[in-house]
Amino acid sequence: MASVAGNPTQEGYGSSPASHGFLSKERTIAGPGFNRWLVPPAALAIHLCIGMAYGFSVFWLPLSKAVGGKESLVCSKDTTLLAELFTTTCDWRISSLGWMYTLFFVLLGSSAAVWGGWLERAGPRKAGVVAALCWAGGFVVSSIGIVTHQLWLMWLGSGVIGGIGLGLGYISPVSTLIKWFPDRRGMATGMAIMGFGGGAMIGSPLATELMKSFATPTNPGVASTFLVMALIYFVFMMGGALGYRVPASSWKPAGWTPPVADADKTMITQRHVHVNKVWGIPQFWLVWMVLCMNVSAGIGVIGISSPMLQEVFGGHLIGNDLRFSELDKPQLASIAIVAAGFTALLSLFNIGGRFVWASLSDKLGRKMTYVVFFVLGGLLYASVPASAGSGSKLLFVAAFCIILSMYGGGFATVPAYLADLFGTQMVGAIHGRLLTAWATAGILGPVIVNYMREYQLGLGIPREQVYNQTMFILVGLLLVGLVCNLLVRPLDAKWFMSDEELAHEKALAHEKVRAGSMGGVVAQSDAQSGTLVAVLAWAAVGIPLAWGVYRTLLSAAKFFN
């Protein structure tokens, strides 16, 4: 894509780049004239692949009939989950398969936290290659588990090995993008993390088409689908990893001048915090709570969006006045199609919100953006019982579309928030540790929503009203997040690295200062020589994404029809 570091006359830290391996960080330092717009599509290539984690439910139903064929061969009631891990005589329960979804996000948060510091020093290329090997390798191991009908191999392959690739792939571009776009931090991270929200838009319909092609009367075609998708994802993720470049230490965009440091007013520091200190910094835990509360509310809604719409509006979705409990099977099938369109619509707002809100945060500021999330989100959640009671589908759907846009926006805005508060030197590693909030929210949100629903049904409350109390509980979560966000203040000087500590960390991270950009001289990043390559790189990720959006729009159209 562009020239890589390889000039032994460069000044900086470490030994001559000629002595370093192909995957080393030294070999990824961009030369003068590198087009920084080549980095976002590299990040998107990886995020669009690992984003399929959201779409794994497309495999559950076919896998639940892998032994029985057309109908599931149900295990006996006394079959424990442990026994199910090894059984070959009956089909897996969907609830047992669903543990892979839980493992994805637990491993995402934990692996990002554990290996985030290594990533900062090894560089995004090496981390991206490891992510590709783990994510694609997880598919291969899972395909073996499908052929041998061993659920533990499915958990190990996609859940554990794939989950590690998920975590490393998710945080691999964060620090790099923030350093390439100091003038537009929110927009840069929004572009990449938008891909994670859009991964299932591409992967789910692709998996469906592949399973149709490979299926036979006795084989659902999932194992072959996993192998094909492993190959596709490996190629794309390797392309993204090899496309990563990091800027030289003193690089800055042409014509851009860093703002005058006034952290009390702008909440943007020019100094840097070491990742090993963040566990003891109050502001880290406040931002941790901010992300956890925002995600808990949103992820809880995502999990029940389809049944919620069906139970609240019932026959009104297909033009009659019957309640959900009064509908017959054909009518239930009809409203399920409408609800699927609603879910597709939410996914579009989820992905769009990641880019739009993160870009707006460059203007509003990160703290104010989250104030909007919590205040507006709280008002929208509180409005849901009224719009449901009045039968206003438009207000009900509009509220959740905006809520889901802010759910996605929260993910995309938080890396820039961390860079503002803790500096850019180790923001990728700090972001990795913060993602433990996501793992926590992935349990907290669904538990609150699902158990409250069951509790309300147990009290005999009509299905169309069982979500009312839940909405006010979610408002409470957002209020907690709002208070935590308002308490965020600039860091005390004691938390920042000294000049000597920073120099030492840069040496460990193999950072270099190129001769063309020393002394604050600007190195041109948007050179015309890289324009054609940038167009091709964007097309490589843009065309699959456009196809995924098109397929999702077709599904969303069912809601309006």
CATH code given to domain 35-248+527-560: 1.20.1250.20
Give the Cβ contact number of residue 226 at 10 Å.
28
Give the CA distances from residue 61 to residues 83, 92, 510, in Å, rounded to whole numbers and listed in that order.
20, 10, 48
Nearest Cα to 410, choosing from 285, 295, 302? 295
User: Any bridge partners for residue 91, and if so which?
Assistant: 74
| CA–CA gap between residue 16 and residue 453 (Å, rounded) | 62
12: alpha, beta or left? (left if phi > 0; alpha if psi -120 to 50): left
Q: Interior CA angle at 203 toward 200 and 209, to 5°? A: 135
Question: How many of the other CB atoms lie within 10 Å of CB of 326?
Answer: 11
Q: What is the largest CA-CA distance in the chain?
A: 79
| 3-state DSSP assignment of residue 219 | strand
Two tokens, residue 309: 């719409």
Nearest CA to 155 out of 146, 142, 167 is that of 142
Within a 10 A sphere around the Cβ of 212, how many other Cβ atoms? 10
First to last CA, the chain: 46
Q: Residue 340 is encoded by which pair of tokens?
A: 């699927």
Q: Which residue has the tokens 């950009």?
A: 517
Show the tokens assigned to 147: 């052929």
- Would the CA dihedral through 441, 279, 259, 194 be positive or negative? negative
Question: Letter for the amino acid at 189?
Answer: T
d(CA 456, CA 115): 42
Domains 35-248+527-560 and 294-488 share a fold: yes
CATH top-level class for 294-488?
Answer: mainly alpha
Residue 214 has a pLDDT of: 93
What is the model's pLDDT at position 512? 61
The pLDDT assigned to 266 comes to 60
Two structure tokens written together for 149: 């009908």
CA torsion sign for 362, 364, 367, 370 is negative
pLDDT by position in tens, the chain (length 561): 333 333 333 333 344 444 467 888 888 888 888 899 999 999 999 999 999 988 888 888 888 888 877 777 888 888 888 888 888 888 888 878 888 888 887 888 889 999 998 998 899 999 999 999 999 999 999 999 999 999 999 999 999 999 999 999 999 998 899 989 999 999 999 988 899 988 988 998 999 999 999 988 888 899 999 999 999 999 999 999 999 999 987 788 888 877 665 445 467 888 999 999 999 999 999 999 999 999 999 888 887 787 888 888 888 888 888 888 888 888 888 888 888 888 888 889 999 999 999 999 999 999 999 999 999 999 999 999 999 888 888 899 999 999 999 999 999 999 999 999 999 999 999 999 999 998 888 888 888 887 888 888 888 888 788 888 889 999 999 999 999 999 999 999 999 999 898 888 888 777 765 433 333 333 344 444 468 888 999 999 999 999 999 999 988 888 877
Rg (CA), the chain: 24
- At 100 the pLDDT is 85
Domain ranges of the chain: 35-248+527-560, 294-488
Residue 482, amino acid: L
Torsion of CA 536, 541, 544, 548, to 10 degrees: -140
Distance CA 389, CA 385 (A): 6
Q: Which tokens hold the place of 322?
A: 């019957």
Record the tokens describing residue 391, joined without a space: 């039968």
Beta strands (DSSP E) in 105-264 are: none
DSSP string, 102-136: HHHHHHHHHHHHHHHHHHHHH-HHHHHHHHHHHHH
**Cα 545 to Cα 48: distance, rounded to the nearest angstrom:** 8
Residue 74 phi, psi dihedral angles, 5° rounding: -70, 135
